[in-house]
Structure formats: C-alpha cells, structure tokens
Amino acid sequence: MAGNGKGHKQAPVGTMAHTRLSPAESHDIIRQRLGRMAGQWDLEPADIHRLTRRMQALTYAPGEIILPRGVRGDCLGLVVRGQVAVHTGERGATRLVVILLPGSTFGEMMLAQGQASNATLQALTRCEIRFLRRADLQVLRDEHRTERQIATLWRLVSASALLLLAVLALVLALGLPAVRQALAVVPMSIGQWCSEREYDTCTWQAWQVAANLAPKDPNPHLALGSFYYTRGDTDLALQAFEKALLLAPDLPEAYNNLGLIYAQQGAHEQAIAAFRTAIELEPGIAATEHNLGASLQATQNYTEAVGHYQTSLALGGPQINTLLNMAIAYYEAGQPKDAEIAAHEALRLTPDLAPAYTVLGAAALDANQPELALSELQRAVDLNVDYGQAHFYMGLAYKSLNQPKEAIAAFEEALVHAKDEVTRTRIRRHLSELYAQQEQGRYP
C-alpha cells in the first residue's frame, strides 16, 4: 500500500532530500526491502542484483499522478529523485499525509500481496521512480521451483533409467507389437505423473515415447494434443487430434477437442459440426453440450444454444459459465425475463460477475427503467472496468436519460474495449449521433 501510510503527520520521509540516488544506494535499499520478503518469494542472494537490473525507471512531471487511490498495484516503487506527495481520502476530500523524498519506497504490500493502494501519489517536483514488478519476482520464484522439480525428477529418472532402457532394448529387439503396446503404458503413466506436477519436458517426452512404442494407439496422440492445446500451440494440437482420429475415427474426445480449436480460431461452423459428432458418438457429456451451445451462440443461433445450455446444466456441467452464456443468449433472443432469471441464478452462485449485472442492466433498459439499469451497470463496471458491454449499455442508459456527456464518455470507453468491428461500428453510430447533436447545440 502506498507509503505504507499509517502516519498522519505532514512530515518528510527519508534522509536524501533534493538529491538523486546513486545506483549503489538504490541497490542497497532494494536489497533491504527484498530481504524482508525473501522467504515468501524464495529469493537467493544472487537474485537481488538480477531484480535491481530489471527495475523500470519512469519520470513524472510536477502535478502528475503516479498512483491513484484504489488501484490494485503489482509493484514496489523507489523514489530516486524528486518529491512525491501522498494524499489520503476520497476525491474532493483528500489531505496530504506525507512527502516522500529520494530513498523512500512505497507499495510493499502491493508487491507482496497484490493489495490496492490506499492513497494517491502525486509528483510535487519532477520525479524519477524506479519500479520493481511483482511479475519479475514470480519469474524468479518459478525458476527456482522448476530447478528443484527438475532435480527431483532427474533423481527419479536416473534411478530407473537403466532398467527402463534395458527393457526397451529387449522389446525393440524382439519387435513384438503386442509387447510394445503393453509397454507403452509405462511412459503414458510417467507422462501423467509429470503432467500433474507440471514438468512439461518430462510430460512431452514420455507421451512421445508412448506414441512411438504404440503407433496404432490413439491415446498418446490425444494426450499430446491436450498438452499442446493447454500451452497455446494450437497447430500442434490440431495435428495430434487429427492423428488420433486417423487411428480411431470414433473418438468423441478428439472431435470435442477439435471443436474447441475451431471455435478458438473463429471457425464456428466447423466447431459446431465437430461438437455434434462428439455428442452423437457419446451423448450425455455436459462439457460438450456447453461447447456446442457456445459456438451456436457465436453464430447467433440463440434459441438452439439455450437448449444445449439447459442440457449441460441438467447433466451437472460448469454451472456459472453456462448460466452466464444462457443469460446473454436469452437476452439476444429477445427474452429479457428469462435472461434475468439466468443472471440472478449465476449471481446466487458467484456474486461478483460483471456480465450478469450487465445482463440485468440491459434487461432493465428494455423495461424502460434506465435508473435501475445504471445501478446494475455501475456494479458491473466496478467489478470489471474493462468489460466493454457494461460501458455500452451504460451509454444507452445515459442517452435514455438525456445525459449526453455521460453517454459519450460511456460509449467512448466501450469503444476502447470493443473486440470486433461489428461492435465498434455499433458504438460509433451512437457516438456520431451524439457528436452531431452536440455540434448543433441541442445538448449543452
């Protein structure tokens, strides 16, 4: 939290006023601060130098806001040069608590726990601040964790390597397909064990060995496809799932996984065909019903999408995501009352869902209740300021209430977060109308 600020006296902090910290002084201060968090972040002495080199230096002009109150930060700031004012209190009723001078730091709790800032920091003079990001600490911690995991795995592998190689050599020399198929169970199990512990290299190598030992078995390719997909390599995942289907054309898992890839690529018609095939081969799978509903919704087949969402829920599928999608599909299908019911059910399970409040706001607009709509939409924005749909409907609500300035601001924010050209065109149409009316003097 900014300035660690619990004090109330307006007094300077630090002993190096009107100076600029040297690199050595900065290093010593950061070393002291990180020393208190070494256990939490699994830091070693050599890490301090690496982290200091990764710190980003930013300059601020007098009066510029460095950190607004309420922002959930992820960094520790070190004042290298200049003076920084720390203000507490709500907007319009703030008061100066302390002035940070070179050598002062702020944001230790934000760095350690990701907490929001409880104060606003503003540059009094031209300032230079160096920031240590939480992401840099996480990278180092993950590296140390991976090193220990690899060391543990290496000891395990080393202990069994000779025996496994001897068995493999014997089987390969004999060239017996049945024995090779049976032996593939061993690397498949090893791969599963490594996957559960997120040892990626071990996972991939083990399943690749299984695929080589049993070239007619689709299971290693299914496993490899899922491995690639979860790591974002959709091209290799696609190849693996297609290979599995060549070996066994009636694998519902492969069709479902292919559908997920097609949907991710925006090829929803292909995704729908793949999901339908998966359901024909193995009906009663909640996740596949949900996936089919999502692609049908993406192609504006809202009524059919709702039917598959209902089936997914009946099968005990992922309740929250399905209910949210169903609420949106109901609304797009012109059934706002059903949309409200689904949104309220989702909020009953998880009360902090911005899309659910957005649906409620949109439904209130349809019922000519713009004030209620604004209340619901404000809750959505408070939960997720980047949710563009909430800003869009908020613009419609302000427009309905004849508040053009607020409507323009909401639509402009919606435009920033719009993800496709259709949505952007829709927003620009409203903005063009409001801009034109403003220029004609119809709005103040």
Q: What's the 3-state SS for 319-340? A: HHHHHHHHHHHHHHCCCHHHHH
The fraction of the chain above a pLDDT of 90, given in percent, is 50
In this predicted model, what pLDDT tens digit does every residue of 219-275 receive, in sequence order?
A: 999 999 999 999 999 999 999 999 999 999 999 999 999 999 999 999 999 999 999
Q: So what's the pLDDT on residue 155?
A: 65
Q: Which CATH number, 3.40.50.300, 2.60.40.10, 3.40.1190.20, 1.25.40.10, labels domain 352-444?
A: 1.25.40.10
pLDDT of residue 420: 86
CB 332 within 8 A of CB 300: yes
pLDDT above 70: percentage of residues in the chain: 85
Q: Model's pTM, two decimal places?
A: 0.60
CA 147 to chain centre: 26
Return d(Cα 211, Cα 207) in angstroms, integer. Answer: 6
Higher per-residue confidence, 123 vs 16:
123
Least confident range of 104-108, 139-143, 192-196, 364-368 = 139-143
Q: Report the first-to-last Cα separation within the chain, whole angstroms.
A: 41
- CATH hierarchy code of domain 2-140: 2.60.120.10
Predicted confidence (pLDDT) at residue 12 exceeds the cutoff of 60: no
Give the 3-state secondary structure of the chain: CHHHCCCCCCEEECCCCCCECCHHHHHHHHHHHHHCCHHHHCCCHHHHHHHHHHCEEEEECCCCEEECCCCECCEEEEEEECCEEEEECCCCCCEEEEEECCCCEECHHHHHHCCECCCEEEECCCEEEEEEEHHHHHHHHHHHHHHHHHHHHHHHHHHHHHHHHHHHHHHHHHCCHHHHHHHCHHHHHHHHHHHHCCCHHHHHHHHHHHHHHCCCCCHHHHHHHHHHHHCCCHHHHHHHHHHHHHHCCCCHHHHHHHHHHHHHCCCHHHHHHHHHHHHHHCCCCHHHHHHHHHHHHHCCCHHHHHHHHHHHHHCCCCHHHHHHHHHHHHHHCCCHHHHHHHHHHHHHHCCCCHHHHHHHHHHHHHCCCHHHHHHHHHHHHHHCCCCHHHHHHHHHHHHHCCCHHHHHHHHHHHHHHCCCHHHHHHHHHHHHHHHHHHHCCCCC
- d(C-alpha 304, C-alpha 189), whole Å: 40
Domain boundary assignment for the chain: 2-140, 352-444
Pairing mode, strands 75-81 and 95-100: unpaired
**pLDDT higher than threshold 90 for residue 176:** no
Tell me the two tokens of residue 302: 């809202």
pLDDT score for 386: 93
pLDDT (tens digit, 9 = 90+) per residue, 392-414? 999 999 999 999 999 999 999 99
The whole-number pLDDT of residue 288 equals 95
Banded pLDDT at 185 (limits 50, 70, 90): confident
Q: Which residue has the higher pLDDT, 270 or 188?
A: 270
**pLDDT given at position 363:** 96
pLDDT per residue as tens digits for the range 279-300: 999 999 999 999 999 999 999 9
41 vs 303, higher pLDDT: 303
- pLDDT given for residue 51 in this prediction: 81
What mean pLDDT, rounded, does the chain reach? 84
pLDDT at 142: 79
Order of all β-strands in the sheet with 120-123: 11-13, 95-100, 84-88, 120-123, 65-67
